Structure 1
Amino acid sequence: MSTLLGRLGGAAAARPWRTVAAWVLLIVAVLGLAQVFGGEPHDDYRVPGTRSTAGMDLLNARFPESSGTSARVVVHDRGGRALPAEPLEALRGRLAALPHALPVGQPIPSRAGDTALLTVGYDVKVTAFKGSTGLDALREAARATTDAGYQVEFGGELPEHFSAPNGMAEGIGMAAALVILVVALGTVVAAGLPLLVALAGLGAGTGLITLLSALTDISNIAPTVASMVGLGVGIDYALLLVSRHVEGLRRGLDARAAAAEANATAGSSVVVAGSTVLVSLFGLKLAGLSVYASFGYATFATVGAVMAASLTLVPALAALAGPRLLRRAERRAPATAPATATAPATAFAGQAPAAAPTRTERWARMIGRRPVAAAVLSLAVLLGLAAPLLGMRTWPQDAGSQASGNTTRKAYDLVAAAYGPGANGPLLLAVDLGRLPEPELPALAARLAADPEVAAVQPARINAARDAAVISVQPKTGPQDEATAKLLERLRDHELPGGVEVTGQVAAFSDISDRLAQRLWVVIPFVVVLSLILLTVLFRAPVIAVKAAAMNLLSVAAAYGVMTAVFQHDAGAKLLGLPHAVPVSSWVPILMFTILFGLSMDYEVFLLARVREDWLATGDARGSVVRGLSATGRVISSAAAIMVAVFTGFAIDPDITVKMIGVGMAAAVLVDATVVRMVLVPATMTLLGRLNWWLPRWLDRLLPELAIESAEPTGPAGSAQPAGSPSGTPAERPEPTVKV
């Protein structure tokens, strides 16, 4: 693999303009095809096999006129005066005249009379409305009402389905990333190169997602999540490659040789790290919801595109930049002799250091001297951060979780204030009159109305064929309240007779939350086992693989704890633009786990590749940890700072799910790159010593030989091979000369 990647890097550097032109043509072609043949993202929350889905299927089949989407229009007088009938009747007529709208019923006034609620039904599904067309039509119909001085807000499925694009998050993340890159690499040219590469991969990935939207369901927020991950890993991968390229230039290699060596060494780590992210995304398919699979498809396409851009565009752009990647003082210094196979890229044991120890080296040596204290302290910090996870509550995203500036949130608050919190999430009882006779409906409604947790029950509505009915039950508590969930569970298990199923948004969201909680324990073992196999094959060290999986689980648990502490308390929620504390979105835990487990492996691979490189060259188990951390600590810290900056930028996104993912992933990367990679990993590796690289003989015979990062520089002519073996010291077993 390293030889092939080295040749790819050398070829791209030898013909940089052709490579750049090829990427420009590729991006234009993909975006052009997406413009012509692409589809629109939309959410599909259908969960086959749940009771709410069975009830909704019954209503859609027996009430075909009500099987389309709907919207709520809330009219309010800010002065508290009673609303006159004339403007409401005029608004009702304009709403009924909208495309695909069904006849609109009479406005429902509040007790105070200062608020009215109109429900607009449509004869088509919500996916028939492209972009903001449905919401725009509602706003145009209400324009005369708002011009008359009344407040008009929109809720329901149609308005809540639309998610406005927000480019501010990406802009903030990229601006912060540029500053970090300038500090890390020392020149504006070197700092701008990773950003250009990430943008190129992001452009191709965006086009691929739009094309995928024409073939399958892609969630509304899946492109945003894919952009978040793609931008972060794209900059990180390019940074790793540029850093190795600059190392080669400093040792006197020309641009082509430096590009080939960077691709053969750091490029191999990029392939392994990116592949781990891609493999982890397969876990989303096991969640049992098509919306989760769409997150996997979108992120897979984007991460794949940025990986390809990193491995081809970085060598080309680095060759074009030439010595301008170096700091000015380095360009003016006398050139050193070109590196050869006898001058390895990294300083191993026995080589005199060229300069005084850096801060990273001093830190690595300190951890090596006190591994027990470092391991115990870092473990305590991780467990402390993870503690709030024990109190996590989950609930799918709804209007009650949105920022206070959204029209859907304003409509939600107006309805709650005027009609009671339960009016935002009525329970719909789908009744099969073939199993429950029609004469028993009044008694059922009266029994429900007498329930202490029920605010109101509307009379049963019977279909034209008189074989089905629907009863609307309004709880006294809101959709996110635990009391509502208990009421739903009690009705299903004890109160309702056969032939009656509870459906509607609250019931569907409760079923989704339960399904995701169950599937989480399927996804976690799947992702962990795949990662264990991959790391064992790559590093030929099962102890390291198990330890890496355990530490990644600790990182994810710490991120869950931070997210719970922030969003389930008023102070943290208000800091992020929410009016009060909210439960953690049910969509977030599985999605974050699959992505974070892959990203955590990125840093594990970056660090272990250098440690293993040193181990193969020296056979010094403890010293290789110190030198490997010294060589990678600065790059890992810079890469993590970029990731944190990118993810933090997404914390200002108006969508609550994106906001939570941004906060959780920023916390996870920060913890992983500091407490875990810089403290816990080197401390435990130092304590284990040679046991890190223990490999049973039977497993040694089964595993292929994979060269992740060669210890020797790779030039256009070829590459030298490491002399050691991961299953012993170099003197015990020479490593084969064939690379896979």
Structure 2
Amino acid sequence: MPTVLHRLGRFAFRHRRSVLALWLAVVAAVVACTVAFGGSGKFDNTFSIPGSESQQALDRMKTDFPTSSGTSAQIVFTAPAGQKVTDPADAAAIRAAVNAAATAPQVARVVSPFDARTVSPDGTTAVAQVQYEVPSSGLASGSLDALKSAVSTSVSGSDQPGVKTEVGGAAYGNAPGKSDSDLIGVGVALLILVVTFGSLLSAGIPLVTAVFGVATAIFGLLSLTGVVAISSTAQSLALMIGLAVGIDYALFIVTRHRSQLAQGMDPEESAALAVGTAGSAVVFAGLTVVIAMAGLTVVGIPFLTAMGLAAAGAVLTAVLVATTLLPAILGFAGARLAPRPGSRAARREAAASGTAGAGTGRAANAAEAWFRQVTRRPLLALAAVAVVLGALAWPAHSMKLALPDNGTAPAGSSQRVAYDEISQKFGPGFNGPLLVLANTGGSADPQQAAGRIASTLQGLPDVAAVGKPVLNPATHAALIQVVPRTGPSDSATKTLVNTIRDDRAAIQRQTGATIQVTGSTAVQIDVAAKLNAALLPFAAVVVGLSLLLLLLVFRSVVVPLKAAAGFVLSVAATLGAVVSVFQLGHMGSLFGLDTTGPISSFLPILLLAVLFGLAMDYEVFLVSRMRESYTATGDPLQAVHSGARHSGRVVTAAALIMISVFAAFLGTDNIMLKQIAFALATGVLLDAFVIRMTFVPAVLALTRRAAWWLPRPLARLLPDLDIEGERLQHVTAFPTPTPTSVSAAASASASVAAASASASATDGRLR
């Protein structure tokens, strides 16, 4: 792979105008496809599991009860102080609003609160049910806004304008979040890059290539919304991960390129060698992330599948940009990327290359200084890591998983106000009623059977109310609404659903009818159960895959085991931090939270996939330099310090960039995206600075030579992947002449060989 990437980097450098034109054409093509085939920016934010009981029942309801098979909304009417909704003037205003709502786009029917008897006991609040025949993903972009407008216009124009209205319900759940702070992460990333490189030109290149990659990935994703169900969360995840890894991958390659330029290497040879060496690590790390994200498809939930494939596509695009477009841009920059003699960047490169601080016990940079402190007292460092991560991970044992509902919607939003008002006046279960679909074909008297089922359901614990059965004699079906005493995300509601399903055999013996539990709440419970069941097997696959990949890369037993242990620690601590903030409410106000709630069911499995890939990034970029040094010198402790000297600063900068990009999305008002952003930012922080920069050097300092041991039989079986391109560096020390004029070729070859030989000699003295 290093040889192929070396040739690719040289080709892109030499044909930079053609490569740039090709990428501009690709971006133009995906933009055109978005305009031509995209679904006008429409996303599907619904949860479902094809083949599950709740989904099967919903599919059948499309035939048996079409007006109840789609999503629904709720209109909450509140009478002015001192009045009741049943007062003649208020009741007239409510009836007018109900009639107006019935004329809104895509509305199948509206049930008046006076017909449904959904008036609060104190008479101050009433709730009308708005039913659609399509799921929320089938609603046109302006349908819900039109419903709000119709209701508010009708009430404000009535003789009793004091009646207050709020519109909410399942149709408003999982609405796309809004965030105007996405560019903050890019701004912070630029600042970090300027400090890292000491050059605005060098700092701008990773941002430019990252924007190319993100634009290609996002517009490509948008072009599919017309034919494939994609959630807005999937788009946001692809954006944040694509931007973060796009900047980081370019950072690794540009850092190697500038280091080689500082040693006098020719720009073309340096760009090719940087792509062949650091680019090999980028390709390996990127493919690891792609595999982890694409692995989410095995869970079998379309919502999560779309998220995984969208993120995988963004990462794959970032890898392609880093290995093709980046060397082309390096060709446009030429020798201008080399640090100016005497500059801070030049002195830093000289120190990293070994001309200062090597072998004397002095640190060439802050990362190496920290590594020296850690390796001086490795047991103390490991104890500190265990205490810190253990304390952070402890709250995870009380983690409650569920899918978000309108109870966690932004404060002041219509759906949140409606949810809170209904919970207060009618009970939280009214926000997420269950639907029981009965097949009465085997009953002697379908109507009597439906009534008996309703009576049985009414007697179950945690049932607040049971509606009158709605019959469809033509299809031998009955639909019964069950209102729990607890909210949609409460564990007691899940228990009630399981209880009803467990009683189906007894109900069939008594009535001859079979039942299925469905509705938006039941669907969310089924999705959460599916995710919980898949969590441990997926975690085992991820950890096992990390062991295998690192065994191949580093040809060591200890290094993969250490990496897997560090990965598990960082994930546990991250989940504990998420529970502390979002479920227990600690410091929630710092992140714009006004209420607590359960953790999104898909967050743990998503966190496993994303952090696995990102952790492998840092492990490869940091430990590969250590292995390279150990192979050359045989000194295990000096190898740890060498890894910090060459890669510590760039890994630190890469982690800070990722953290800033993820943290910028904390400004969203979508609780799911906010939890994802917080988890990823926290996970990268812990993995980069606690695990990679503290746990890793401490373990390697304790194990010394055993860290790089591999049994001989296993060593013969495993291929040598040469991720860092060590063999390539030896080959390119004497580059072959370019096919131009003979004299020019000889001159270029001699200069490059001299520079490479000088760099090799310096590196040899360091080792």
Cα distance between partner residues in 1 of 2:68 and 2:452: 25
Report the aligned-residue RMSD: 3.1
> Structure 1 vs Structure 2: percent identity of aligned residues?
38
Q: TM-score, normalised by structure 1?
A: 0.90
Post-superposition Cα deviations, 1:383-423, rounded to whole Å, max 9, x if no partner, equal: 22211111111001221122213332222112212322111
The residue that corresponds to 2:761 in the other structure is none
- Equivalent pair of 1:611/1:628 in contact (CA under 8 Å): yes
Cα distance between partner residues in 1 of 2:81 and 2:735: 81
- Equivalent pair of 2:231/2:307 in contact (CA under 8 Å): yes
Corresponding position: 1:680 with 2:680: no
Code of the residue aligned with 1:183 in structure 2: it is V
Go from structure 1 to structure 2 and tell me whether the alpha carbon gap of 1:364 and 1:344 turns closer, same or farther (over 3 Å shift): closer
Cα distance between partner residues in 1 of 2:149 and 2:357: 76
- Equivalent pair of 1:613/1:710 in contact (CA under 8 Å): no
Corresponding position: 1:71 with 2:83: no
SS of the counterpart of 1:462?
strand
SS of the counterpart of 1:221?
helix
Go from structure 1 to structure 2 and tell me whether the alpha carbon gap of 1:76 and 1:17 turns closer, same or farther (over 3 Å shift): farther
Go from structure 1 to structure 2 and tell me whether the alpha carbon gap of 1:632 and 1:474 turns closer, same or farther (over 3 Å shift): same
The residue that corresponds to 1:102 in the other structure is 108
The residue that corresponds to 1:12 in the other structure is 12
Go from structure 1 to structure 2 and tell me whether the alpha carbon gap of 1:216 and 1:466 turns closer, same or farther (over 3 Å shift): closer
The residue that corresponds to 1:461 in the other structure is 470
Go from structure 1 to structure 2 and tell me whether the alpha carbon gap of 1:716 and 1:428 turns closer, same or farther (over 3 Å shift): farther
Corresponding position: 1:201 with 2:219: no
Question: Offset of 1:49 from its aligned partner?
Answer: 4.4
Cα distance between partner residues in 1 of 2:346 and 2:641: 31
Cα distance between partner residues in 2 of 1:591 and 1:581: 21
Question: Offset of 1:332 from its aligned partner?
Answer: 11
Corresponding position: 1:591 with 2:591: no
SS of the counterpart of 1:168?
coil
Go from structure 1 to structure 2 and tell me whether the alpha carbon gap of 1:366 and 1:334 turns closer, same or farther (over 3 Å shift): closer
Code of the residue aligned with 1:415 in structure 2: it is I
Post-superposition Cα deviations, 1:151-201, rounded to whole Å, max 9, x if no partner, equal: 43332333325425x352421211221222222221222222211111110
709-718 vs 386-395, which moves further:
709-718
Code of the residue aligned with 1:593 in structure 2: it is L
Corresponding position: 1:270 with 2:270: no
SS of the counterpart of 1:252?
coil
Question: Offset of 1:613 from its aligned partner?
Answer: 1.5
SS of the counterpart of 2:232?
coil
The residue that corresponds to 2:25 in the other structure is 25
209-218 vs 665-674, which moves further:
209-218
Go from structure 1 to structure 2 and tell me whether the alpha carbon gap of 1:78 and 1:664 turns closer, same or farther (over 3 Å shift): farther
Question: Offset of 1:328 from its aligned partner?
Answer: 5.7
Corresponding position: 1:442 with 2:451: yes
Corresponding position: 1:241 with 2:247: no
- Equivalence map 1:486-635=2 (5 Å): 486-494=495-503, 497-498=507-508, 499-635=514-650
Corresponding position: 1:371 with 2:371: no
Cα distance between partner residues in 1 of 2:216 and 2:195: 28
Question: Offset of 1:615 from its aligned partner?
Answer: 1.8
Cα distance between partner residues in 1 of 2:175 and 2:35: 20
Go from structure 1 to structure 2 and tell me whether the alpha carbon gap of 1:271 and 1:425 turns closer, same or farther (over 3 Å shift): same
Code of the residue aligned with 2:695 in structure 1: it is L
Go from structure 1 to structure 2 and tell me whether the alpha carbon gap of 1:50 and 1:333 turns closer, same or farther (over 3 Å shift): closer
Corresponding position: 1:717 with 2:755: no
Question: Offset of 1:585 from its aligned partner?
Answer: 0.7
- Equivalent pair of 1:5/1:264 in contact (CA under 8 Å): yes
Corresponding position: 1:53 with 2:55: yes
Corresponding position: 1:93 with 2:108: no
Question: Offset of 1:142 from its aligned partner?
Answer: 2.6
Corresponding position: 1:217 with 2:223: no
Question: Offset of 1:708 from its aligned partner?
Answer: 1.4
Go from structure 1 to structure 2 and tell me whether the alpha carbon gap of 1:187 and 1:335 turns closer, same or farther (over 3 Å shift): closer
Go from structure 1 to structure 2 and tell me whether the alpha carbon gap of 1:413 and 1:264 turns closer, same or farther (over 3 Å shift): same
Gaps of 5+ in 1: 723-729, 731-740
644-653 vs 86-95, which moves further:
86-95
The residue that corresponds to 2:196 in the other structure is 184
- Equivalent pair of 1:154/1:407 in contact (CA under 8 Å): yes
The residue that corresponds to 2:487 in the other structure is 478
SS of the counterpart of 2:464?
strand
Question: Offset of 1:487 from its aligned partner?
Answer: 2.8
Post-superposition Cα deviations, 1:334-357, rounded to whole Å, max 9, x if no partner, equal: 999xx9xxx999549996679963
Cα distance between partner residues in 1 of 2:480 and 2:250: 58
Code of the residue aligned with 2:137 in structure 1: it is T
Go from structure 1 to structure 2 and tell me whether the alpha carbon gap of 1:152 and 1:313 turns closer, same or farther (over 3 Å shift): farther
Go from structure 1 to structure 2 and tell me whether the alpha carbon gap of 1:561 and 1:625 turns closer, same or farther (over 3 Å shift): same
The residue that corresponds to 1:735 in the other structure is none
475-484 vs 707-716, which moves further:
707-716
Cα distance between partner residues in 2 of 1:543 and 1:101: 62
Cα distance between partner residues in 2 of 1:45 and 1:356: 53
112-121 vs 302-311, which moves further:
112-121
The residue that corresponds to 2:167 in the other structure is 154
- Equivalent pair of 1:288/1:519 in contact (CA under 8 Å): no
Cα distance between partner residues in 2 of 1:146 and 1:301: 48
SS of the counterpart of 2:587?
helix
The residue that corresponds to 1:311 in the other structure is 323
SS of the counterpart of 1:121?
strand
Code of the residue aligned with 2:30 in structure 1: it is V
SS of the counterpart of 2:486?
coil
Go from structure 1 to structure 2 and tell me whether the alpha carbon gap of 1:482 and 1:601 turns closer, same or farther (over 3 Å shift): same
The residue that corresponds to 2:313 in the other structure is 301
SS of the counterpart of 2:73?
strand
Question: Offset of 1:261 from its aligned partner?
Answer: 2.2
The residue that corresponds to 1:128 in the other structure is 138
- Equivalence map 1:616-695=2 (5 Å): 616-695=631-710
Cα distance between partner residues in 2 of 1:282 and 1:580: 33
Alignment counterpart, residue 411 of structure 1, candidates 418, 421, 443: 418
Code of the residue aligned with 1:525 in structure 2: it is A
- Equivalent pair of 2:13/2:331 in contact (CA under 8 Å): yes
Cα distance between partner residues in 2 of 1:660 and 1:267: 32
Cα distance between partner residues in 2 of 1:352 and 1:526: 42
Cα distance between partner residues in 2 of 1:397 and 1:334: 52
- Equivalent pair of 1:10/1:260 in contact (CA under 8 Å): yes
Post-superposition Cα deviations, 1:227-266, rounded to whole Å, max 9, x if no partner, equal: 1111111111111112112112211223222212221221
Code of the residue aligned with 1:13 in structure 2: it is F
The residue that corresponds to 2:121 in the other structure is 111
- Count residues with an aligned counterpart: 716
71-80 vs 301-310, which moves further:
71-80
SS of the counterpart of 1:497?
helix
Alignment counterpart, residue 433 of structure 1, candidates 440, 452, 462: 440
